[in-house]
Amino acid sequence: MMIVNDMYEKMGISPETVKKGRQICEDLKERFDRIDQVAEYNQLKVLNAFRECKVSEACLYGTTGYGYNDIGRDTLEEVYAQIFNTQAALVRPQITCGTHALALALMSNLRPGDELLSPVGKPYDTLEEVIGIRESKGSLKEYGIFYRQVDLLTDSSFDYDKIKEAINEKTKIVTIQRSKGYQTRKTFSVKEIGELIAFVKNIKSDVICMVDNCYGEFVETIEPSDVGADMVVGSLIKNPGGGLAPIGGYIAGRKDCIENAAYRLTSPGLGKEVGASLGVLKDFYQGLFLAPTVVASALKTSIFAANLFEKEGFKVVPDSTESRHDIIQAITLGSEERVCAFCEGIQSAAPVDSFVTPEPWDMPGYDAKVIMAAGAFVSGSSIELSADGPIKPPFAVYFQGGLTWPHGKTGILKAYQTMADRGLL
């Protein structure tokens, strides 16, 4: 134990802080055991998909040029479809990020005159320009696609009466954001999402229900596609990439929806048949294989952070005892100085660029300056130890990731120590 304490001291983390962390870990043993049980189930689910889809060594090699007959790419999409219990999937390095995957799913399945409905309030900041809530070139609004939203009730539950009123003959897609984004609302469980989908389909059965699944994959034993979602969408540099995928996104769902997305991604007449996988397939496969245990580490890190900072009087969402449905932990710190200190602590505990000081900047797609701490092996990978937040009231920081639980724990202790050293606790 003394050797471990010496290593923490080299990180600039005091014995007092380490002691606090150790006590929290003791209190969380049973909860962490339950997380490990979910990870074990999801690991078996992924392994069985690999086996049933007959993943071979040949699948790990990439193609160039057009990418015709790419066995690795096509088999990987079969694996995703099996894991998410869907008819088809589109998993490509040509999908650059989660926002791109969501935009692709929407733009390929909506036509002029259609209406998009969000029954969970305002979407994540970067989708505002995709939709046209904030003016942007190429938005859905420019193509004559209408948008309507129903805000959540004060307790973050669905306003079913208003949702029923909002659905009309033009409603084509209902988009459900599982995670909180830059808000301090709760994250929806898969069960809650399933209840909302059933409600919507009972009113208009042909509505396409799309779930933004970012940060939620493998947190539970089921996914939104198991409870009626027509499309689930996410980023490979978040949960399902397992920290190894260097780029990419996925859409899994109904065959017709996926075909539409493929034709939009490439070209009418080409669709899924083209798109070289280059040299990323091994990382895509291995990252997906590791994802259940990596997500478990990230979950433990978030729960640990909630417990540590709640004891200091900060509002945390979810709180220290709530059930978890994504890997994100929001901590309302109340000032720009605290947000910056927290992020500096996370950055200084990173394996890459630990010597860099993060600063707020005008990040594309956001309406306020954003500070990001992400000393990651993959640039911008938020399944790795990372923290970010907009520099505006209520000055909340959003923490996520941690490829390993020991590293995640160290990062949180370092963020706490940085704030303590500056008298900000």
pLDDT category of residue 125 using cuts at 50, 70 and 90: confident
Total number of domains constituting the chain: 2
Indicate if 218 and 360 belong to the same structural domain. Answer: no
CB 236 within 8 A of CB 247: yes
Indicate if 233 and 299 belong to the same structural domain. Answer: no
pLDDT category of residue 152 using cuts at 50, 70 and 90: very high
Mean pLDDT of the chain: 96
Indicate if 257 and 320 belong to the same structural domain. Answer: no
pLDDT of residue 363: 80
In a domain, 284, yes or no: no
Say which CATH number the domain at 230 has: 3.40.640.10
Indicate if 33 and 69 belong to the same structural domain. Answer: no
- Residue 323 makes CB contacts below 8 A (sequence gap 6+) with 189
pLDDT tens digits for range 357-383: 999 999 877 778 999 998 999 999 999
Q: Is 65 left (phi over 0), alpha (psi -120 to 50) or beta?
A: left
pLDDT of residue 1: 59
Type of residue numbered 217? E
Does residue 299 surpass a pLDDT of 80? yes
Indicate if 231 and 373 belong to the same structural domain. Answer: no
Our CA angle for 48, 53, 59, nearest 5°, is: 115
Sheet bearing 396-400, strands edge to edge: 315-317, 329-332, 396-400, 386-390, 370-373
pLDDT tens digits for range 325-356: 999 999 999 999 999 999 999 999 999 999 99
Indicate if 217 and 87 belong to the same structural domain. Answer: yes
DSSP state string for 342-385: HHHHHHHT-SSSTT-----B--TT-SS-EEEE---SSTT-TTSS
In a domain, 176, yes or no: yes
Indicate if 125 and 192 belong to the same structural domain. Answer: yes
User: Range of 307's domain?
Assistant: 2-42+289-421
278, 298, 321: which is the final residue of a domain?
278
Indicate if 267 and 302 belong to the same structural domain. Answer: no
Rounded mean pLDDT, 177-182? 88
Q: Which of 394, 351, 392 is nearest to 373 (CA)?
A: 351
247, 278, 309: which is the final residue of a domain?
278
Quote the pTM value: 0.95
In a domain, 110, yes or no: yes
245, 278, 311: which is the final residue of a domain?
278
Indicate if 123 and 222 belong to the same structural domain. Answer: yes
pLDDT category of residue 116 using cuts at 50, 70 and 90: very high
pLDDT tens digits for range 83-96: 999 999 999 999 99
In a domain, 57, yes or no: no
In a domain, 17, yes or no: yes
Rg, C-alpha atoms of the chain? 21
Indicate if 250 and 175 belong to the same structural domain. Answer: yes
